[in-house]
Amino acid sequence: MSITPLMPVYPRCAFRPVKGDHCHLIGEDGRRYLDFAAGIAVNILGHSHKGLIGAIQRQAETLMHVSNLYGSPQGEHMAQRLVDLTFADTVFFTNSGAEAVECAIKTARAYHQHIGNDHKYELITFKNAFHGRTMATISASNQEKMHKGFLPLLAGFKYVDFDDLEGVKAAIGRNTAGFLVEPIQGEGGIRQASQEFMQGLRDLADEHDLMLVLDEVQCGYARTGTFFAHEHYGIAPDILASAKGIGGGFPLGACLATEKAARGMGIGAHGSTYGGNPLAMAAGEAVLDAVANEEFLGHVNTIGERLKARLEQFIGNYPDLFAEVRGRGLMLGVKMKVEPRGFVAHLRDNHQLLTVSAGDNTLRLVPPLVIDDAHLDEFMDKLSAASASYKHEEPA
């Protein structure tokens, strides 16, 4: 037999982390790595947060899992907090980002089908978007590398260029149910939607009675210095998918919706065995305790601006490597002039700095939101040394 016991769908590198220590990871070989990848924007409180660990330990001893057929004081409490903090009136908890997007897609379709508009099932989505790896969420993205081998796709998605409002207007038709968009594309290369685009989508949704669905799985949950990224634009969605940071490392996601948008989601419409179980809610509430306050969000803004300013100043030293700095808060990207994966490997293997590549030749920086100035210094030292020693070879 030549297939590995772990299904070989990931190109796993030689680094094998076995322990976390705040903003560092320790490998099997005992070496310490500065973690500016954070499990891809997941470990927002770092790796050994006392509040999060304690909450999970206490809940694990009390009650880990029960069926969603029973009343849920734990789920009601966390849902109420999210409702109080956001545009939403109601929340469905999931175990991952793709499931949160899946619920968002179903909610948007059900909004129309609930009143008999069965023809309004199509979501307009955007090129280079990433919404997850289920059949519906790969169908919502135009990226052919994710489709290969899995055809046919689910019907009901139409792709338009990101940030192209005229393209959206032209694509709206009799079947349109709404828009599904990341306010800042993560996997696509830390690309921010413009103010005009986001406001334009909101206005078009209002004008045509369409659902504005935001995928804030990566850009949400304090990552950009507001609780959700759409707050920067002064607009609210009808439906929003959250995950990644929401559990701080515990598998958790959520689909948030207004009462109006959720009109099709009555009893029996959707479900999940694990979704929102007491253990997940304990983790989620510990994360909320830490992040849902002005002081924490202020820290993300301040430290994010400092990191961005230092990067902008730095990249001029290596004009052959770096083109520009993108993003907001602690969702930053450095667009490179070379394919970034070799550089990511060099940072990791030779300088013990963890980052992650993204589309559009982007070096992605999504550290824990609890980094401080000492971590910035360590990061800049490593980036600087790595840039000086890097010999680029285009991958075969």
Q: Which residues bind ligand PLP (CB under 6 A)?
A: 96-98, 101, 130-132, 182, 186-187, 215, 217-218, 243-244
Min CB(101)–ligand PLP separation in Å: 6
Q: Which is nearer to ligand PLP, 156 or 342 (CB)?
A: 156
Residue nearest to ligand PLP (CB): 97
- AA letter at 113: Q
Q: What are phi and psi of 35, to 5 degrees?
A: -100, 95
Shortest reach from residue 182's CB to ligand PLP, in Å: 5
With respect to ligand PLP, which residue has the nearer C-beta, 321 or 356? 356
Shortest separation between residue 180's beta carbon and ligand PLP, angstroms: 10
Task: State in angstroms the smallest separation of the CB of 97 from ligand PLP.
Answer: 2
Between 235 and 321, whose beta carbon lies closer to ligand PLP?
235
Token pair belonging to 336: 């490179």
- The alpha carbon dihedral of 64, 67, 70, 74 has a sign of positive
Rounded to the nearest 10°, the torsion over CA 94, 100, 104, 109 is -70
How far is Cα 80 from Cα 292, in angstroms, rounded to an integer? 13
Closest distance to ligand PLP from the beta carbon of 244 (Å): 6
**CB under 8 Å to 5, separation ≥6 — which residues?**
none
When the beta carbons of 96 and 139 are compared against ligand PLP, the nearer one is 96
Residue 186 or 333 having the CB closest to ligand PLP = 186
Euclidean distance between CA atoms 329 and 220, whole angstroms: 11
Cβ closest to ligand PLP, residue 123 vs residue 243:
243
Q: How far apart are CA 355 and CA 61, in angstroms?
A: 35
With residue 177 as reference, give the H or E element that holds it.
strand 176-181
Pairing assessment for the beta strands 353-354 and 32-35 based on DSSP bridges: parallel
CB of 156 to ligand PLP, least distance (A): 18
Q: How many CB atoms lie within 10 A of CB 84?
A: 9
